[in-house]
Amino acid sequence: MSRLTALVLSFAVAIAWPASVLAQRSLSFDAHALPGQGAVAIAVGEGLSGSASFDAIDARSEGALRRAAQADGFGGKAGSQLDLRGFAGYDRLLVLGTGKDALTGKALQDLGGRVAGAFSRSTAPRVDLVWDGNEAEAASHLAFGAALGQYRFDKYRSRKDDDEAAQAGKGELVIRTAAGAGASAHWTAQWKPVAEAVALARDLSTEPANALWPEEFVARVRTAAAGLPLRIEALDVPAMQKLGMGGILAVGQGSVRPPRLLLLRYDGGAAGEAPLAFVGKGITFDSGGISIKPGANMWQMKGDMTGAASVVSTVIALAGRKAPVNAVAVAALAENMPSGSAARPGDVIRTASGKTFEIMSTDAEGRMVLTDALWYVQRQDRPKLVIDVATLTGSIMAALGEDYAGLFARDDALAAQLLAAGEASGEELWRMPLREEYGKRLKSPIADLRNGGGSPGAGAGAYFIGEWVDRQLPWAHLDIAGSDWASSGRPTVPEGATGFGVRLLDRFVRDHHEASAR
């Protein structure tokens, strides 16, 4: 199939993954041992049971550890902790409660994140996390959680290198398990690429709009993808005009910074096999355009490109861990600004597919850019399924808050797989209705559809997007408005940009597409 490209860079080289973007404690692995000094973290089950490390320190301190726990009311319940300073020869001893159940997967990640968070303000040069398990995978999950939990974005803060605050949270975190240093290979192959991809998505989503715009987004992705077996295609305005991409061009025409359509392709599966397609909304700043937003909290609209950040970061993660699948990420990038050249409410836009829509609100721009992105990836790549990710509507925030992203799907099997992946990864989804009646509320007297005005808001937005996806193709829409930003921290998600979607989609691929490919 012929492929029209503009500003295309294709490369497939096998050199080392770039240095970690994580600027906090370095992570390493060592044999199971209980240091007698320094900063140490251990875990214990409910009832202060099931931990050889706890029992050893308690014996070494002649029962003082158990007495301290009882005096503090600490019984090992899940999520609880006992934080002791200058105890039994330790500068700091952190005892984390794990509850009654054995820890696997996400719970281990949360444990690692809790340790990283607890020592994020510590200047201790080294922290030893002692885990009494013996599996390399368990050690990797602890490291993964620690990497996610210690993330921070402070590149614009004015601090001197010798400031105590600048040194806090730096140094080394050593994960000590029976798997020993051998756990490093599992971490490097399976989870470190995902941790770095989540950090990339968070970085992109946190950057201010004067530092990140469509062209700069493309440049950042090129840098992040360097050395990986990936092919990059970036369409500029003339290329999109030639293809008739009226949706993305209409959104971008009000800004001095031109839009881009970015595709990132990874061919890790069988030759010729249809790829998985992940399509993301990439509005690097959303003022609302002519339908301008209220000034309060408009600053948050720098993160209206989190969907695009998440899908490109997901494919970078798949390439980094050599997943045996074919995948393509599409980022529909534009800045939505008001100006004399901006699109107006009432304008009729013809998209690349030939379908038209009438603009009811220029602030419903996410669905506008996705129309052309969805058409293009279906035409060029013939994917086996499509999942789009977008900070689409305020109404999904009203319904689900920050706890869940909204899932809309026409395919029940795909919806079930995504729900399971969300629960396993900790990036949870809640399935929302997607009814044909929504289409009737989007009818236009002069175009095929209106881009807004229907209700419910999140469902109408999802229906509109779905009209640019072949009805026979499995498709899901994830509305991540709300879940893209954490107003308060969690073990693996510090306050701020969450990078929502990377862990979810990576888990979806692991559980439902890699097993059959091996």
- Residue 495 is classified by DSSP as S
Instruction: Find the catalytic residue in 126, 222, 293, 350.
Output: 293
The answer to whether 286 is annotated as binding is: yes
Burial degree of 223 (CB within 10 A; 0-12, 13-18, 19+): exposed
User: In Å, how far are 28, 30, 35, 272, 282 from 171, measured between CA atoms?
Assistant: 11, 16, 17, 46, 35
Report the 10 Å Cβ neighbour count for 211.
Answer: 13
The answer to whether 479 is annotated as binding is: no
- Residue 244 is classified by DSSP as T
> H or E element: which one contains 238?
helix 237-243
Q: Under DSSP, is residue 195 helix (H, G, I), strand (E, B) or coil? A: helix
> Can you name the residues that pair with 395 across neighbouring β-strands?
none
Instruction: Find the catalytic residue in 367, 450, 503, 510.
Output: 367
**Tokens 């509005």, residue?**
283
Considering only CA atoms, which of 127, 175, 169, 140 is closest in space to residue 152? Answer: 169
Q: Which residues contact 120 (CB under 8 A, 6 or more apart)?
A: 24, 149, 150, 152, 168, 169
Query: In the annotation, is 510 catalytic?
Result: no
Q: Distance of alpha carbon 350 from its chain centroid, rounded? A: 32
State how far the Cα of 477 lies from the Cα of 431, in Å rounded to an integer: 10
The answer to whether 365 is annotated as binding is: yes
Query: In the annotation, is 367 catalytic?
Result: yes
The answer to whether 128 is annotated as binding is: no
| Max Cα–Cα distance, the chain, nearest Å | 83
State how far the Cα of 24 lies from the Cα of 152, in Å rounded to an integer: 8
- Give the tokens for residue 83: 């934080």
The answer to whether 154 is annotated as binding is: no
Binding residues: 281, 286, 304, 363, 365
Binding residues for Mn(2+): 281, 286, 304, 363, 365
Residues serving a catalytic function are 293, 367
